């Protein structure tokens, strides 16, 4: 286990032990005031100093000590799983460092932001934990101050909304077209990238409400909606009906853990809406409470009155674009509403793509070396492109000055070919203080000029950068892309297959890296694979014959598939091998494939690699050949 992590968690446990020894009884009032970026935290009228709270994915993270000192929660640490258990007044929360998965009283859920280890301090999501413990959470946007209250007169029966929500009577989503009464005692979770799934928690933990919207669904009758509702239910179904005057299917169910759910399924256009309220068996059996919950559900409507200021809109969509905040980096921007979030396989750039994967927006914030400039940075990336692309498939544009929010840099338009078409990418290189900001917008070159300009202009204009808003705990951010050493190799031993091989360290592992029969690696525009243990069922000649048959069939089925050559060669000095060279097209790319079949020490091996013709540079082919030559058999 990482020594730093272990030390930090032990420190957290010691703090918790102290808190448990000094805290008042669990039923005593709890009041906490936390300000983002401020190390002074007020707990029950006493001020303590802790690591500064900060935002991660728009979620406030605080030191674990704040939770244990305020609530006197019992803490357990599992070293094997790096998980933290918190127990308080019958509620049990299981968190894991670096994971968004969370368990509450045995039920799995997903956090908006994972617990983190920052500067030897365990940081945990404040709102989720305190609301699970039954506290009320209020946020003052003007001062970035969060107030937590439980059991005090201020947190009694008359729960108040935050100042910004005080005049709201309804809450909903203008983009997905729904609304529901905004009860003072419910609190919406911070929105994810998309608001098609929304969760509301009751501040006294009486129930949880979920609204889940599925798009592009086939039109369904009452029978179909009834079927959907029943399939969505967990456990025994207590009632099932179709409400004609409401136009929805309704199911009430009870799961083995005693959670009672009312599920309502609506249909409007091509959107399907699942509205689910979960509560305890005790609350369900309380007729007055259950009736109030049903009345609340009855306020759900497949409409949103955008012209009414009393309607609070949780949507982050406007004019066909979705607003995104990367608050830890002080970034904000917009992407088309139908794009989805991902990350690049190499170098882990934050990425947003359309459904066809041919339009995207990428961004990354990394540390800046002293004396570096945007021009020099762009030049280094250009050098990498030339290493990865054959010259006839690469066109690098001239650098042009650009300025975003007072931060100056350079931009250019590049073209990347694949043998049948070109892809255009607009790149931005900015630097400010200790950090570098990279942005790129990609789209097919053949996209109409007006559409390209509109996409590029809308995204660039939406980018907001505020270095002063960056997380105060943000440290050095290593730029793996800018600092890649393409020549450094690592030794990989495969004891089962009885060989070792030296692999370029920047190659990304594909599959079967457990010392088994085969393994593969992925590199820019190519992949590399070694198969072994085939000698147990196939001799070298058997495998060659099987390869011949496969090539013949593929050539017959695909006119673009052809055998360039088949020859006898020597590998590793004097080992006879049969070499196959193939060419075909895949997803618009022209692929060159090479395979060697040979025997060594009584085993049959096949080494193969595929490379896009556009990426078959001298450097790439040299590294692949050097990798093959590095193999040593045992």
What is the full DSSP assignment across 512-543?
--SSSSEEEEEETTEEEEEE--GGGT--HHHH
On the CB side of 519, CA atoms within 13 Å amount to 18
If asked whether residues 9 and 151 sit together in one domain, one would say: yes
**Nearest CA among 590, 594, 589 for reference residue 625:** 594
CB-based contact 279:259 (threshold 8 Å)? yes
Instruction: Tokens for 348, please give them.
Output: 């882990």
Beta strand pairing call for 422-432 and 30-35:
unpaired
Place of tokens 């100042």: 163
Q: Based on the fold, state whether residues 423 and 501 are members of the same structural domain.
A: no
Which of 291, 313, 335 delimits the end of a domain? 313
- Separation of alpha carbons 126 and 70, rounded Å: 12
- What is the reported pTM? 0.69
Tell me, what CATH number does 86's domain have? 3.30.457.10
- The answer to whether the beta carbons of residues 517 and 600 sit under 8 Å apart is no
- Asked if 119 contacts 110 with a C-beta cutoff of 8 angstroms, the reply is no
96 and 217 belong to one structural domain: no
**Is residue 479 assigned to a domain?**
no
Split at pLDDT 50, 70, 90, the class of 536 is low
485 token code pair: 């050493």
Query: Structure tokens of 273?
Result: 């809406």
Residue 497 neighbours by CB distance under 10 Å: 21
- Domain-embedded: residue 474: no
Does 475 map to a domain? no
Residue 484 belongs to some domain of the structure: no
In a domain, 119, yes or no: yes
State the residue range of the domain holding 280.
Answer: 163-313
Q: Which long-range contacts (CB under 8 A, 24 or more apart) does 411-418 make?
A: 412/378, 414/385, 415/445, 416/385, 416/389, 416/614, 417/389, 417/392, 417/393, 417/614, 418/393, 418/588, 418/589, 418/590, 418/612, 418/614
* Domain termination site, one of 294, 313, 332: 313
Residue 404 maps to which CATH number? 3.40.1000.10
Indicate the helix (H) or strand (E) that contains 239: strand 236-243
In-domain check, residue 254: yes
Q: Looking at the chain, how many residues does it have?
A: 634
Angle at 572 between CA 567 and CA 576, to 5 degrees: 40
Residue with tokens 């357990």: 76
Same domain, 446 and 502: no
Same domain (yes/no): 326, 455? yes
Greater pLDDT, 211 or 187: 211
Same domain, 573 and 611: yes
Same domain, 228 and 351: no
pLDDT-based confidence at residue 512 (cuts at 50, 70, 90): low
Task: Determine how β-strand 422-432 pairs with β-strand 407-417.
Answer: antiparallel
pLDDT of res. 79: 65
One domain for residues 89 and 18: yes
- 3-state secondary structure at position 466: coil
pLDDT band at 168 (very low <50, low <70, confident <90, very high): confident
Does residue 480 lie within any of the structural domains?
A: no
Question: What is the number of domains present in the chain?
Answer: 4
- Say yes or no: 129 and 202 in one domain: no
Same domain, 147 and 34: yes
Q: pLDDT higher for 625 or 341?
A: 625
- 546-591 tens-digit pLDDT: 899 999 999 999 998 999 999 999 999 899 999 999 999 887 788 9
Give the confidence band of 18 by pLDDT, cuts at 50, 70, 90. very low
Q: Which residue's structure tokens are 């073209």?
A: 415
**pLDDT tens digit sequence for 259-312:** 999 999 999 999 999 999 999 999 999 999 999 999 999 999 999 999 998 999
Instruction: Tell me whether residue 478 is in a domain.
Output: no
- Single residue among 155, 176, 206 that ends a domain in this structure: 155
Residue 630's nearest CA partner among 524, 513, 530 is 530
Give the Cα separation of 351 and 368 in Å (integer).
Answer: 21
Query: Is 192 in the same domain as 294?
Result: yes
Residues 324 and 197 in one domain: no
């Amino acid at each position: 286990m990482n020594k730093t992590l272990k030390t930090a968690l032990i420190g957290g446990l010691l703090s918790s032990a102290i808190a448990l020894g000094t805290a008042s009884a669990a039923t005593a009032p709890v009041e906490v005031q936390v300000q983002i970026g401020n190390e002074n935290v007020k707990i029950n009228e006493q001020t303590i100093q802790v690591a500064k709270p900060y935002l991660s994915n728009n979620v406030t993270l605080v030191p674990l000590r704040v939770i244990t000192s305020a609530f006197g929660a019992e803490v357990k640490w599992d070293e094997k799983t790096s998980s933290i258990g918190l127990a308080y007044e019958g509620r049990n929360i299981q968190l894991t460092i670096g994971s968004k998965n969370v368990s509450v009283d045995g039920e799995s859920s997903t956090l908006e932001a994972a617990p983190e280890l920052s500067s030897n301090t365990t940081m945990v999501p404040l709102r989720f934990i305190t609301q699970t413990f039954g506290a009320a959470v209020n946020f003052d946007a003007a001062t970035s101050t969060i107030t937590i209250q439980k059991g005090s007169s201020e947190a009694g029966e008359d729960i108040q909304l935050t100042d910004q929500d005080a005049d709201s009577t309804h809450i909903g989503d203008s983009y997905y077209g729904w609304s529901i009464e905004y009860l003072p005692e419910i609190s919406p979770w911070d929105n994810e990238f998309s608001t098609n799934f929304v969760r509301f928690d009751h501040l006294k933990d009486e129930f949880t409400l979920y609204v889940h919207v599925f798009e592009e669904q086939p039109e369904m009758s009452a029978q179909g909606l009834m079927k959907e509702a029943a399939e969505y239910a967990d456990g025994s179904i207590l009632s099932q009906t179709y409400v004609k005057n409401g136009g929805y299917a309704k199911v009430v169910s009870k799961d083995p853990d005693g959670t009672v759910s009312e599920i309502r399924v609506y249909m409007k256009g091509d959107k399907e809406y699942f509205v689910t309220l979960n509560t305890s068996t005790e609350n369900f059996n309380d007729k007055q409470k259950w009736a109030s919950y049903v009345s609340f559900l009855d306020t759900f409507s497949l409409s949103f009155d955008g012209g009414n200021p009393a309607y609070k809109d949780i949507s982050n969509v406007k004019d066909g674009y979705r607003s995104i905040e990367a608050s830890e980096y002080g970034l904000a921007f917009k992407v088309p509403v139908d794009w989805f979030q991902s990350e690049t396989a190499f170098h882990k750039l934050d990425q947003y793509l359309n459904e066809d994967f041919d339009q995207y927006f990428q961004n990354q914030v990394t540390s800046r070396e002293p004396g570096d400039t945007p021009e020099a940075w762009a030049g280094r990336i250009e050098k990498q492109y030339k290493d990865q692309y054959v010259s006839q498939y690469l066109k690098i544009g001239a650098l042009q000055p650009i300025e975003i929010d007072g931060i100056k840099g350079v931009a250019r338009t590049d073209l990347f070919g694949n043998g049948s078409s070109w892809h255009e990418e607009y790149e931005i290189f900015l630097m400010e203080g200790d950090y570098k900001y990279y942005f790129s917008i990609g789209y097919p070159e053949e996209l109409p000029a007006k559409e390209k300009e509109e996409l590029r202009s809308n995204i660039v204009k939406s980018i907001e950068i505020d270095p002063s808003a960056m997380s105060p705990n943000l440290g050095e951010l290593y730029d793996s892309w800018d600092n890649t050493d393409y020549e450094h190799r690592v030794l990989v031993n495969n004891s089962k297959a009885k060989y070792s091989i030296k692999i370029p360290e920047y190659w990304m592992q594909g599959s079967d890296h457990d010392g088994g029969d085969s393994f593969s690696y992925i590199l820019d525009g190519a992949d590399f694979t070694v198969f072994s243990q085939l000698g147990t069922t196939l001799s070298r000649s058997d495998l060659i014959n099987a390869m011949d048959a496969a090539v013949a069939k593929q050539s017959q089925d695909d006119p673009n598939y052809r055998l360039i050559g088949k020859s006898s060669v020597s590998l590793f000095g004097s080992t006879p091998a049969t070499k196959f060279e193939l060419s075909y097209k895949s997803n618009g790319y022209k692929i060159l494939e090479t395979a060697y079949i040979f025997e060594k020490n009584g085993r049959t091996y096949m080494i193969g690699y595929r490379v896009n013709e556009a990426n078959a540079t001298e450097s790439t082919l040299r590294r692949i050949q050097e990798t093959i030559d590095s193999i040593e058999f045992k």
